[in-house]
Amino acid sequence: MSRTILVTGSSGFIGFHLCQRLLNDGWRVIGIDAMTDYYDVGLKEGRLAQLDPHGAFTNVTARIEDPGVLHDLFETHRPEAVIHLAAQAGVRYSIENPESYVQANLIGTFRLLEAMRAFPPKHSLLASTSSAYGANTDMPYAEQMKTDHQMSFYAATKKSNEVMAHSYAHLYDLPVTMFRFFTVYGPWGRPDMAPHLFTSAIFEGRPIKVFNHGEMSRDFTYVTDLVDGIVRLIDAVPGSEPVEGDSLSPVAPHRIVNIGNSDSVPLMEFIGAIEAATGIEAEKNFMEMQPGDVPATWADASLLQHLTQYKPKTPVSDGVAQFVAWYRDYYQV
């Protein structure tokens, strides 16, 4: 029989790619998504339209923070595993509308933890973010680093999720893996993220906004590499025996794992890859750093490799070319 897994945020950028992979791997997938209008709902509907035909996919449109929603799903389907991606995303939007992050990220995750306490899965994997590293300047970021100085309210809510999940893992013996992902990009990506913003501006003849005068770098992670890492972690259930370089808690079945490309790419190099893929040189508007942002990210992904024997590998030039090809097709450019 197929194994059953619950994916929150299933119509989101990462959730969509993850559900596709899980369905192809033979899982029975229960997907829940609020279909909010934070960005173009049509993009979410387009993703969902590709998932719906799968007989093993069950779609639920609801907010995870609403009382009883997740409890009822767990009671009905009894998922063996859970991957929690549903969240209000975005560093910049968290400055404009912080309350939405309280509802989705804090209360929503609390509802999930309570549902798991009532109907324990074998393993739950909860999304965190590289933004949790905050003001750290030592690179690459390693899971054992102290992470007490978040630079945005978004990052603060995701760090809070890590701490909340640890307490439930300790109190109720719930195996939890928190995965911190780095700047994820690829086909069907969010329109509020840099690859989409840059590509749309280039094709429409508008200047692109280059923050911190281009003096930034990111560990750009192609979406299918991230999905590969998540899927391989499903069976890497935190136990009592640590592996090399482990972040396993001494008092709970709880660990934190980076999923990144282990390479910090300068922003100007990333823009150059988009220019190469589009065949158009961008007009650049160099600007100051935005509030809440950090100048660089870079993942130490060795723990992921020790746990799964997997290392993300897609070079930026290839990933950007695939994103631009999708963009041309989807928007008929």
pLDDT tens column, 211-253: 999 999 999 999 999 999 999 999 999 998 899 999 999 999 9
According to DSSP, the β-strands at 184-185 and 81-84 are unpaired
Residue 313: the pLDDT is: 87
User: Distance between CA 43 and CA 12 in Å, rounded?
Assistant: 9
Quote the tokens at residue 26.
């033979």
Mean pLDDT of the chain: 95
The reported pLDDT for the residue numbered 115 is 98
pLDDT of residue 62: 98
Proportion of the chain in helix, strand, coil states, percent, rounded to 5: 45, 15, 40
86, HSE (Cβ side, Cα atoms, 13 Å):
32
pLDDT tens track, the chain, 333 positions: 689 999 999 999 999 999 999 999 999 999 999 999 999 999 999 999 999 999 999 999 999 999 999 999 999 999 999 999 999 998 888 989 999 999 999 999 999 999 999 999 999 999 999 999 999 989 899 999 999 999 999 999 999 999 999 999 999 999 999 999 999 999 999 999 999 999 999 999 999 999 999 999 999 999 999 999 999 999 999 998 899 999 999 999 999 999 999 888 999 999 999 999 999 999 999 999 988 788 888 899 999 999 999 999 899 999 999 999 999 999 999
φ, ψ of residue 11 to 5 degrees: the values are: -100, 5
Under 8 Å between Cβ of 312 and 149: no
Per the CB < 8 A criterion, the answer to whether 166 and 252 are in contact is yes
Catalytic residue IDs: 154
Q: What is the pLDDT of residues 265-313, one digit of tens each?
A: 999 999 999 999 999 999 999 999 988 788 888 899 999 999 999 999 8
Closest CA to 331 of 278, 264, 279: 278
Residues with Cβ within 8 Å of 125's Cβ and at least 6 positions away in sequence, in order, are 81, 82, 83, 84, 176, 177, 178, 179, 230, 233, 234
Both tokens of 301, joined, read 């992904």
Helices (H), 78-193: 93-96, 98-101, 108-118, 153-172
